[in-house]
């Protein structure tokens, strides 16, 4: 093993030995090399005469560039666009995102958490979690409704075993007891368990209430105190898109960080869905841990390992997008413009709720409870989701996602409010065609 990796592992072990046990073999081998990047960082500070270190090109004291590209980027400095961004992301953006996290989740303010590390959006954050913590045969505990890409990232790439518990309880809320039972069954004998939570959820469009949030945290903290080693991954891709009053509006990281030495939280969030910049690929990974050791030292070592995983795969995330997101966060109009788009999505969600009250729909489907995000799901009565999906495309030109069994997912985020009624009417007609 590289001495730098050994050193990081020792740094972690000295302050929280459980985290070393949570790392995958690859995670243990990871380090951030003292190669070109650290030599050029040193040169940036000291090479006042000539800096001939990094693999970009300079001209007249700034990044060399083509005018035909720079002309499209009016208002941006070439140095904020063309050079590589650091492996962990643009420092100013990382700090601005942290500021945003603290403002949105006041419970984080008195917590010691890691500095957000920029990722190539949330999918990449999940891949990094896989690199660092997941090895063949590890169990990932998920509710039975989850974003399908988790399978590729964790099952196919990392050969993890996905175990599920029911998403909904009998009363239509989140099944906290199912989660508790899943942890009890899967984290026996102090075994490492990866618990992945995604609120607001894809595909259901359900986000937890304050009571459910407290119950979830109680379950996780108690399980860690009883000896389970938990890597809790919070996929908060749709953060902020809440459409009901009683919902928990903070990150679960606030209640989970600094609670137990066996409880490591990885918060994944980003600009993708919240700021409507899907193709930008700007996300963040933030660690939160507990225990008596020097948490700062553990975060530093985990950050270096994460940077190593980034450097050895995509090298770094796009600089242009990071600059654009940073400028947006700095803009005085950011919050008001975001609120405007939120209002549009909320109006669509409320329209869907209202349209679905039509009693005739009861013969065609049941509606899964939803209150947040981009989506909602229907359980179609007596017709397979895939059969309905194909029929709606062929007969009515309507596209939905079949998510398995009789379920279909509707992205109301893509449907104008005035079209919502017609959309569900066509889905209804499609179901009736197939039933008759």
Ligand X SMILES: Cc1ncc(COP(=O)(O)O)c(C=O)c1O
Torsion, Cα of 307, 309, 313, 318 (10° steps):
-30
- Residues numbered 270-289 forming contacts with ligand X, rule: CB under 6 A: 270, 272, 278, 283
Min dist. Cβ of residue 278 to ligand X (A)? 6
Distances (CA, A) of 300 to 116, 307, 318, 321: 11, 10, 23, 25
Judged by CB under 6 A, does residue 269 bind ligand X? Answer: no
Judged by CB under 6 A, does residue 89 bind ligand X? Answer: no
DSSP state of 111: S
- Residues numbered 149-188 forming contacts with ligand X, rule: CB under 6 A: none
Q: Which residue has the tokens 């899943």?
A: 182
The CB-nearest residue to ligand X is 121
Judged by CB under 6 A, does residue 235 bind ligand X? Answer: yes
Identify which of residues 105 and 198 has a Cβ nearer to ligand X in the complex.
198
> Considering only 25-33, 91-99, 120-128, 169-177, which stretch makes contact with ligand X by CB under 6 A?
120-128
| C-alpha distance across the termini of the chain, in Å | 66
Judged by CB under 6 A, does residue 259 bind ligand X? Answer: no
Min dist. Cβ of residue 206 to ligand X (A)? 12
- Spatial separation of the C-alpha atoms in residues 206 and 374, rounded to whole Å: 10
Min dist. Cβ of residue 236 to ligand X (A)? 9
Identify which of residues 197 and 398 has a Cβ nearer to ligand X in the complex.
197
DSSP state of 115: P
Min dist. Cβ of residue 162 to ligand X (A)? 15
Measure CA 198 to chain center: 8
> Considering only 118-126, 168-176, 312-320, 421-429, which stretch makes contact with ligand X by CB under 6 A?
118-126
**HSE-up (13 A, CA, CB side) for residue 64:** 6
Q: Which two tokens stand for residue 407?
A: 């379920």
Closest CA to 303 of 32, 28, 71: 32
Judged by CB under 6 A, does residue 237 bind ligand X? Answer: yes
Judged by CB under 6 A, does residue 290 bind ligand X? Answer: no
* Region at 198 (left for phi over 0; alpha for psi -120 to 50; beta for the rest): beta
Judged by CB under 6 A, does residue 202 bind ligand X? Answer: yes
Instruction: Rule CB under 6 A: choose which of 93, 117, 122, 176 binds ligand X.
Output: 122
In the complex, the residues that contact ligand X under the rule CB under 6 A are 121-123, 147, 198, 202, 235, 237, 270, 272, 278, 283
């Amino acid at each position: 093993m590289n001495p730098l990796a050994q050193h990081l592992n020792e740094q972690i072990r000295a302050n929280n030995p459980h985290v070393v046990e949570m790392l995958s073999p690859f995670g243990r081998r990871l380090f951030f090399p003292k190669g070109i990047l650290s030599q050029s960082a040193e040169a940036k500070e000291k090479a006042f005469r000539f800096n001939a270190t990094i693999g970009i090109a300079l001209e007249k004291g700034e990044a060399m560039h083509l005018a035909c590209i720079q002309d499209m980027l009016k208002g941006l400095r070439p140095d904020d666009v063309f050079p590589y961004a650091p492996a962990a992301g643009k420092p100013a953006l990382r700090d601005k995102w942290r500021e945003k996290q603290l403002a949105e989740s006041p419970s984080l303010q008195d917590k010691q958490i890691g500095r957000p590390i920029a990722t190539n959006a949330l999918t990449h954050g999940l891949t990094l979690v896989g690199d660092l913590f997941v090895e063949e045969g590890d169990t990932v505990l998920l509710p039975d409704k989850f974003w399908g890409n988790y399978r590729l990232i964790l099952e196919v790439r990392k050969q993890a075993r996905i175990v599920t518990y029911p998403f909904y309880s009998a009363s239509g809320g989140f099944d906290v007891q199912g989660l508790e039972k899943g942890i009890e069954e899967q984290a026996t004998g102090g075994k490492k368990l990866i618990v992945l939570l995604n609120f607001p959820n894809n595909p259901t469009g359900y986000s937890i209430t304050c009571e459910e949030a407290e119950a979830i945290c109680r379950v996780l903290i108690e399980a860690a105190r009883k000896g389970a080693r938990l890597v809790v991954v919070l996929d908060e891709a749709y953060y902020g898109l809440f459409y009901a009053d009683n919902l928990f509006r903070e990150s679960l990281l606030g209640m989970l960080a600094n609670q137990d030495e066996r409880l490591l939280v990885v918060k994944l969030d980003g600009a993708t869905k919240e700021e409507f910049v899907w193709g930008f690929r700007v996300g963040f990974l933030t660690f939160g841990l507990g225990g008596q050791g020097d948490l700062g030292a553990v975060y530093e070592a985990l950050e270096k390992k994460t940077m190593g995983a980034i450097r050895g795969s995509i090298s770094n995330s796009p600089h242009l997008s990071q600059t654009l997101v940073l400028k947006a966060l700095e803009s005085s109009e950011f919050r008001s413009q975001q609120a405007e788009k939120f209002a549009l999505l909320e109006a669509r969600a409320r329209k869907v709720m209202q349209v679905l009250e039509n009693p005739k729909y009861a013969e065609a489907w049941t509606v899964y409870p939803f209150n947040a995000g981009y989506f909602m799901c229907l359980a179609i009565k007596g017709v397979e989701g895939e059969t309905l999906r194909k029929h709606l495309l062929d007969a009515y030109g309507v596209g939905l996602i079949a998510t398995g069994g009789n379920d279909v997912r509707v992205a109301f985020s893509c449907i104008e409010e005035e079209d919502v009624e017609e959309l569900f009417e066509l889905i209804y007609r499609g179901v009736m065609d197939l039933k008759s």
